[in-house]
Chain A
């Protein structure tokens, strides 16, 4: 089945540690996105990539890093520079057309202990 797979679903981190969230898609989509969602709030864009080996900062990129070495993969690293990393992280992908909808993974919940 085609879709987006995020892992792990739950992750606990100690302060000062970097963690990497995985996102893989087999939909052959060009564009991939990372969003952060906090309780009672909407989605905020962290990074997005429209093509392999290229990505752009979103609205809240500070403290995060990404790579896009393969079309199907877009991992997100939450670094120790991110002051408040506890959140629900969503990965999505779509065709790079105005009409293409986003397809979402099931999310990864990161908790800093």
Chain B
């Protein structure tokens, strides 16, 4: 069985400072991992994904994430927060499709507040 835990439900940062969103996962197989962003009353947009290639993944809008198998983590970072980064972020794991029935598991989400 697969699971995802986002360690912080809320994160508050000042504009121009780094952002760190933490995600831990469990998976019985080689997982694919994704980070999505959701602005209010909108659908989810893919920021980046890890699919067993490079462990450091670069995404859109200056975000990146590092896959650490030994720590079962996939934390999302950005060097300098912008006001437009205020949103909710979801970490998602996709396990072996046969075992998981092609389902994906979502973390509970982290709401990011950016202060001027």
A52 to chain B, nearest CB (A): 15
B96 to nearest A CB, angstroms? Answer: 6
CA distance A45 to B94 in the complex (A): 14
Q: A43 to B45, Cβ gap below 8 A?
A: no
Choose one: B41, B90, B109; the contact of A107 (CB below 8 Å). Answer: B41
Interface residues of A in 32-68 (CB under 8 A from B): 41-43, 45, 48, 50, 56, 58
Are A98 and B96 in contact, CB atoms less than 8 angstroms apart? yes
Q: For the complex, what is the distance from the CA of A90 to the CA of B52, rounded to whole Å? A: 28
Chain B residues with CB under 8 A of A48: 102-103
B86 to chain A, nearest CB (A): 16
Cα-based distance from A99 to B50 in the complex (angstroms): 8
Q: Interface code B99-112, partner A: CB below 8 Å = 1, 0 otherwise?
A: 00111101111000
Q: How far is the CA of A100 from the CA of B51 in the complex (A)?
A: 9
Residues B41-60 near A (CB distance < 8 A): 41-46, 49, 51-52
* Bitwise interface map of B from 30 to 49 toward A, beta carbon under 8 Å scored 1, else 0: 11101010000111111001
Across-interface contacts of B97 in A (CB, < 8 A): 96-98
Residue of A nearest to B4 (CB): A42
Cβ B43 vs Cβ A45 within 8 A: no
Interface band, chain B: 20 to 34
- Whether the Cβ atoms of A101 and B46 lie closer than 8 Å is yes
A60 to chain B, nearest CB (A): 13
Is A101 a contact of B41 with CB atoms below 8 Å?
no
Given contacts A41-B108, A98-B51, A102-B104, 19 further A-B contacts (CB under 8 A): A31-B102, A42-B106, A92-B44, A96-B102, A97-B97, A98-B30, A98-B31, A98-B32, A98-B95, A98-B97, A99-B51, A99-B52, A99-B94, A100-B94, A101-B34, A101-B49, A102-B36, A104-B45, A107-B43
Chosen A-B contacts, 29 in total, with CB atoms closer than 8 Å, are: A31-B102, A42-B90, A42-B108, A42-B109, A43-B44, A43-B106, A45-B103, A48-B102, A50-B102, A88-B41, A90-B44, A96-B102, A98-B30, A98-B31, A98-B32, A98-B51, A98-B94, A98-B95, A99-B32, A99-B49, A100-B94, A101-B49, A102-B36, A102-B92, A104-B45, A105-B43, A106-B42, A107-B41, A107-B42
